């Protein structure tokens, strides 16, 4: 997926940025009240924070998975359509199936946030 020195630098930069943002969010959620005036009813603050982190991870990882899948499927779809224009409908089905991963991630995130 990542090739050469540029790819390694991009991967390292992504890991560093993700770690900093994740740790910052965890520190913010566990130490501050995040502007809330009262505790959320029906659960502890740690469970609420974990639910928000879980919803963010589900959405983010679903989007990353969609990006990887669409990059492969779209390239193949463009190649197939350039050879034969009648392959357009078939190739778009595979691209749409890959984009469904992000929609499922959002649905799961909404289900998690609906219980908070």
Tokens 């908070």 sit at which residue? 116
Tokens 């609420």 sit at which residue? 48
Question: In the chain, which residues have pLDDT < 70?
Answer: 1-2, 29-30, 32-43
In this predicted model, what pLDDT tens digit does every residue of 17-49 receive, in sequence order?
888 877 777 777 667 555 555 554 555 888 888
How far, in Å, CA of 56 to CA of 99, rounded? 18
How far, in Å, CA of 57 to CA of 71, rounded? 21
How far, in Å, CA of 108 to CA of 104, rounded? 6
**pTM assigned to the model:** 0.57
């Amino acid at each position: 997926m990542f090739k050469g020195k540029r790819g390694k630098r991009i991967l390292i930069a992504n890991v560093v940025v993700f770690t900093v943002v994740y740790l910052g969010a965890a520190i913010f959620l566990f130490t501050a009240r995040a502007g809330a005036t009262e505790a959320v009813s029906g659960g502890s603050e740690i469970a609420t924070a974990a639910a928000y982190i879980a919803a963010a991870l589900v959405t983010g990882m679903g989007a990353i998975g969609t990006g990887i899948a669409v990059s492969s499927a779209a390239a193949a779809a463009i190649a197939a359509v350039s050879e034969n224009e009648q392959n357009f409908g078939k190739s778009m089905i595979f691209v749409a199936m890959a984009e469904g991963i992000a929609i499922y991630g959002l649905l799961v995130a909404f289900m998690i946030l609906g219980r908070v």
